[in-house]
Chain A
Amino acid sequence: MAWTEKEQQELDKILKKYPPDRKLSAVLPALYLAQREKNWLDNDDIQAVADALDIPVTHVHSIIGFYTLFRKEPTGKYMVQVCTDLPCALRGAEDFYRRFCERMGLPPTGGTTEDGLFTVESVVCLAACDKAPMCQINLEYFESLTDDKIDQIIASFREQAKIQQ
């Protein structure tokens, strides 16, 4: 991939945060930028990050493998991450998640919906334990959820996707 002009400007701005000889520090923000458009990273994206920072492409792969928020496979347009860690699970998050997966037509472990819009997964603590059940959708917080509430949120994302098409 080639960086768009806007992305290149953002990249330059990111690099200014770190000492000139420490471009490697920008690897996480650069990866976020490369992933923004389609929600996952293909080999061209990864190469573009390596080139922009003058670092070996293998290093960029190791970073992607280490951190959980980067993806090398296509996912749904919306990543729905439901916390089922202990504090949330003590307030019913596991059952909430199972019911949600079922209504989305997915196995109890989650997955991607047939229309490719939603990837649903259970994740560990998101620092919102007092507002369980909760989830992040493309990292936006949705808290104190009920079955009805999450269904409405999903419906509004479906609408949004339709309008964008």
Chain B
Amino acid sequence: MGNELIDKYVLFRHRDVENIHQIEVYRANDGYRALEKALKEMQPGDVTNVVKASGLRGRGGAGFPAGVKWGFIPKDIYPKYVVVNADESEPGTFKDREIMTYNPHQLIEGIILTCYAVGAETAYIYGRGEFAPVFRDHLQQAVAEAYRHGYLGRNILGSEFSMELHLHLGAGAYICGEETALLSSLEGQMGQPRSRPPFPAVEGLYAKPTVINNVETLTNVPPIVLHGSDWYRQYGTEKSPGTKIFSLSGRVNKPGNYELPLGTPIRYLIEECGGGIIDGKAVKGILPAGASSAIIGPDKLDTTMDYEAMAAAGTMLGSASFIILDETVDAVWAAEKNVKFFKHESCGKCSPCREGTFWLVNVFRKLREGHGTKQDVELLETIIEQMKGNTFCLLGEFVVPGVRTSIDLFRDEYEALAVAEEETTPGPAKDLIHTFF
């Protein structure tokens, strides 16, 4: 049961209990007991308080304390909504898909508890369009079972509390993982972010108070409510309590999802869980938060995977999607892949992101095709400097740390590509302008 670092899985309970996706099996293994406990013994505010006390932080990337977020919901405005972010689109992240496929009831129970805590009667799970089979074959069945057993619908378990849970699929847009863009999309608009304030807690879906949390975040809620905050805090660190799912990919022998206590060293994830690097090669770089990451080098392998330590190491934990580069990987190629991703996914709303990613892709292409000059490496640095802090939403500048750290860590590889003669005209090269028109 569990793994070497946790006795029993908190989130990936399907790895301990076979067929836990079936409601009978889930119920026979403490399933929906937290909900029964909440409806019988707890006021809504008590649920928020235990989640606050647990220190559970948002698992979508920002790490904001979930209970505190719920506390922002105004009491006297109705209706209220809970929206679950299942847009999982960050390259390297594939944890929510596993939860929804194999342990859907724990997520559903978490959603119901959240609705009870904040007084919402309607919840939506917004999944990326590519999750259509996950929704159709797994989540939809689980939701239907929950309705049949009286955990959803009118007067849940004989209480005064009623709620509806709906599934909604996006249609292919990374930006919809940004919470205000997700709301625009759910309202039937293009998925473009909105300005904040007003924050979704006050004016969210249909301009009503809305809690938005990630799938993994809400999957933590039933065990917290059932076993209490002290139990939850047995794992993790003081400021980053609990377990977390780490999605490990790239040049390791055993890529996959690993649930570990927050605060576990990166080295453990790569060597013990991932079985080390393919062909015994050396680690060259680590992207701890997918394509959005500042890259860190092998000197940071003993950093612990919690929000604070990762920030101190110059990067972030984000959604904990660890993409591992080994010594065989061309650093400029890897950076270009991510830059292309961000150009492809720019929503077009603000010019620093829309134009910035366009120019980055062009300069990378020029370098990689052998026409680069030293000025082009500087041009990359100028472009990201101009993007930094100037994009409309956070996702717009997610391209910046990867390029910045790639140049800082592997500058020799960039300079090795700057083979062409220096250009005499200042500003962007003519052939770059040409491609724009």
- Report A's interface with B, CB cutoff 8 A: 17, 19, 22-29, 31-32, 53, 55, 62-63, 66-70, 85-87, 89-91, 124-132, 136, 139-141
- Give Cα A94 to B132, complex, Å: 25
Contacts of A90 in B (CB 8 A): 249-251, 323-325, 329, 334
- Give Cα A140 to B132, complex, Å: 8
Q: A22-B187, A86-B250 are in contact. List 17 more A-B contacts (CB 8 A).
A: A17-B124, A28-B169, A28-B185, A29-B169, A32-B169, A55-B188, A63-B188, A67-B172, A70-B171, A85-B337, A86-B91, A86-B341, A125-B92, A126-B130, A129-B94, A129-B247, A129-B249
- Report B's interface with A, CB cutoff 8 A: 88-94, 96-97, 124, 128-133, 166, 168-174, 185-191, 206, 247-251, 255-257, 291, 321, 323-325, 329, 334, 337-338, 341, 344-345, 347
Taking a contact as CB atoms closer than 8 A, the residue among A24, A69, A132 that contacts B188 in the complex is A24
Contacts A17-B166, A127-B97, A129-B249; A86 near B255 (Cβ below 8 A): no
21 cross-chain CB contacts under 8 A: A17-B166, A24-B189, A26-B188, A28-B170, A28-B171, A32-B132, A63-B189, A63-B190, A66-B190, A67-B129, A67-B173, A68-B129, A86-B91, A90-B325, A125-B341, A127-B88, A127-B131, A129-B247, A129-B250, A130-B247, A139-B133
Contacts A127-B97, A127-B130, A128-B94; A87 near B249 (Cβ below 8 A): yes
Tell me which of A17, A19, A127 has the highest count of chain B C-beta atoms within 10 A of its own C-beta. Answer: A127
- Give Cα A27 to B129, complex, Å: 13
Main secondary structure of the interface of B (DSSP, over half): mixed
- Give Cα A140 to B130, complex, Å: 8
Taking a contact as CB atoms closer than 8 A, the residue among A32, A128, A141 that contacts B171 in the complex is A32
A126 to chain B: closest residue by CB: B130
- Give Cα A66 to B346, complex, Å: 10
Question: Are A22 and B91 neighbours in the complex by a CB distance under 8 Å?
Answer: no
Contacts of B345 in A (CB 8 A): 124
Taking a contact as CB atoms closer than 8 A, the residue among B130, B186, B291, B344 that contacts A139 in the complex is B130
- Give Cα A32 to B321, complex, Å: 30
- Give Cα A132 to B257, complex, Å: 14
- Give Cα A157 to B128, complex, Å: 25
- Give Cα A127 to B321, complex, Å: 11
B94 to chain A: closest residue by CB: A127
Q: In the complex, what's the smallest C-beta–C-beta distance from A136 to chain B, in angstroms? A: 6
Contacts of A27 in B (CB 8 A): 188
- Give Cα A33 to B349, complex, Å: 28
Taking a contact as CB atoms closer than 8 A, the residue among A85, A91, A130, A139 that contacts B132 in the complex is A139
Q: In the complex, what's the smallest C-beta–C-beta distance from A72 to chain B, in angstroms? A: 13
Contacts A85-B341, A86-B291, A136-B130; A129 near B169 (Cβ below 8 A): no
Tell me which of A29, A90, A126, A128 has the highest count of chain B C-beta atoms within 10 A of its own C-beta. Answer: A90
Q: In the complex, what's the smallest C-beta–C-beta distance from B121 to chain A, in angstroms? A: 12
- Give Cα A17 to B205, complex, Å: 14
Question: Are A128 and B190 neighbours in the complex by a CB distance under 8 Å?
Answer: no
